[in-house]
Chains A and B, each alone.
Chain A
Amino acid sequence: MTNWSPTVFTRVMLGLAVFLSAFPLYWMVVIASRTNSDAVSVPPPFLPGGNLGENIIAVLNNEDAKFLLGLTNSFIVAATVTVSVVIISTLAGFSFANLQFKGRNALLVLVLLTMAVPLQQMGVVPLYRLMVSLEWTGTLKAVILPYLLNGFGVFLMTQYTRQAVPMELVEAARVDGAATLRIWWNVVLPAVRPGMAVLGINTFMLMWNDFMWPLIVLTPDNPTVQIAITSLNARFSTNYTLIFAGTALSIIPLVAVFIAFGRQIVGGLMEGAVKA
């Protein structure tokens, strides 16, 4: 069993991994809390300064950056998509895991196949043309609609439901006279709540981070937060403190989610992963 206690080398390596993981984020706070002349000095500053609040207010008040609008838009997009993906996935997951119907396996394989296609890159031209002909470009609808479904979510919830809801439970509820939708609501949803949480967090992060499609379909005057950072970056490319205050603001929701659900994120990743 000596095998399972780490050597000094392993401990040093883990320490280094933790340091490297955290450093760029620490660095973001250092620059965001400094003045612009500090940010471009050599050697660079390594400790936070006292200007964080000031810089954040400057970003929020900057009329060109539209940062507050970006934050609000990203929140609307990420929240809407998360709710939709979680509902669609729990419904389909329940059906695939607990109900019997013709073509079930074939349909599940179809879902898996759709996961392998990089739709975002493949479908970008027609989706854009579709949004143009609907006159939805520049609106949040255009960002939200293509993401309302997610093959990974269906797959994840099918796996999770299979393991969390025994068939006997569903059959018992049916004998008691419950209709399928009622079983979903009263029996399945309470049991798969941890799986829903992991899928929800995952989807929220994915949407908060989405960049390519909003860049194409939105305009800088109605941005998501990622587009707002990019325009900060392009317009104020010499004003590092402003850009870094903006980037620091943009990750606050994600960091909050991480602090609240970090344990579940680790657990969920390990549970959802393909096991050897």
Chain B
Amino acid sequence: MSLDTLPRATRNNHRRVRPPGRRWASRFDVKGMPYALVSPYFILFAAFGLFPLAFTLYYSLYDYDLAGTTEWIGLGNYTALLGDDDFWRAVINTVGMFLLATVPQMLLALFLANALNKRFRFRLAIRMSVLLPLVTSVVAVAVVFTQLFARDWGLVNWILGWFGVDPFNWRAERIPSWIAIATMVDWRWTGYNAIIFLAGMQTIPRDLYEAAAIDGASRRRQFWQITLPMLRPTLIFVVLNSTIGGLTLFSEPTTFYNGNVDGGSQGQFQTVAMFIVKEGFREFDYGYAAAAAWLLFLLILIGAAINFLFVRRIGGTK
């Protein structure tokens, strides 16, 4: 025992008389090291986050042309965008596809989560399989769905034919193209959102349901009056997440048109993100693209605010 404690005692002793250099090192270790550990994130964020954001603002105030000359035009890009029919079409497409994808997705995910929350065999296997879509590549999925939604030999038109529905030209018309793209988005994200909802549902105390059952509340009533209101924080998280994802949609509609950012022959499914890429990297109008990026951010803020207010009302305060 005494032999065991001896080295430590000497070490402590040694620490008291250590040279000034080591004292500085240990002071830094306590005071400075926490900052050193968080600094890689902030340094990289400054370089690849803050710098681009600031420069996007700066670029948006200039007119760039193909010849490489630049001219300060103040808010000129913004006013031009607000009068640009192509931009508004992209905004409407984005919002349209967002609504078409998100509303059914949230409902489906809620009901799926409710079903996954029951007791049954192979529970883990089933939870894993609804996550399978998330684990596949977006572009691969979009390629598969593009084929499923093909006009002449697509599976979807073939099945619709059983019910006497005429084949849709999914890529040529506006609303059908939105539906096709919204389907891809939903396929990918419904299971993911269901798992997140499930995580929230599992924290709701079970005796609440038991008390409600004794009071004679039906299962459906329990879902609307217990599950949903108790789920509000999760709901806010999921809805905000989907809002950012939905309004920045790019991969699915681009792949739906062979990797082209025009979004169809008449831009019928061009989103704002695609509009930015087209203006910036095909028309080389950096200022215009940068201004569109800020308007997209504004759109996301508006969307997030509306959703937040909407979700907050769900279930109400008792």
Contact = CB atoms under 8 A, between A and B. Distances in A.
A10 B112 CA distance: 9
Nearest to B251: A211
A223 B238 CA distance: 33
Interface in A223-268: 225-226, 229-231, 233-234, 237, 240, 243-244, 247-248, 250-251, 254-255, 257-258, 262-263, 265-266
A254 B135 contact: yes
Given A212-B277, A271-B199, A148 B130 contact: no
Among A17, A104, A107, A125: residue with most chain B CB under 10 A: A125
A209 B53 contact: no
Interface residues of A, number: 104
B132 A22 contact: yes
A117 to B, nearest CB: 7
B227 to A, nearest CB: 9
A3 B213 contact: yes
Interface string A146-164: 1011010010000000000
Interface string B122-133: 001011111111
A149 to B, nearest CB: 4
A10 B293 contact: no
Contact of A122 (B29, B53, B129): B53
B53 A258 contact: no
Nearest to A24: B144
B81 interface: no
B34 A104 contact: yes
B41 A92 contact: yes
Nearest to B300: A118
B111 A13 contact: yes
Interface string B291-318: 0011011001000000000000000000
A270 to B, nearest CB: 4
Interface stretch (B84-92, B96-104, B113-121, B171-179): B113-121
Nearest to A211: B251
B35 interface: yes
A120 B56 CA distance: 12
A180 B33 contact: yes
Given A270-B199, A275-B200, A6 B119 contact: yes
Interface of B: 11, 15, 26, 29-31, 33-35, 37-38, 40-42, 44-45, 48-49, 51-53, 55-56, 59, 111-112, 115-120, 124, 126-141, 143-145, 147-148, 152-153, 155, 158, 187, 191-192, 195-196, 198-204, 209-210, 213, 219, 222, 230-234, 236-237, 244, 248, 250-251, 254-255, 258-260, 273, 276-277, 280-281, 286, 289-290, 293-294, 296-297, 300
13 contacts: A11-B120, A18-B126, A25-B144, A91-B38, A118-B244, A124-B280, A209-B137, A229-B139, A255-B135, A266-B195, A270-B202, A274-B234, A276-B203
Given A14-B126, A119-B48, 6 more contacts: A17-B112, A18-B126, A101-B34, A126-B290, A211-B138, A266-B128
Interface of A: 1, 3-6, 10-11, 13-14, 17-18, 20-22, 24-25, 27-28, 31, 39-44, 87-89, 91-92, 94-96, 99-101, 104, 107, 110-111, 114, 116-130, 145-146, 148-149, 151, 154, 177, 179-181, 184, 205, 208-209, 211-212, 215-216, 225-226, 229-231, 233-234, 237, 240, 243-244, 247-248, 250-251, 254-255, 257-258, 262-263, 265-266, 269-271, 273-276
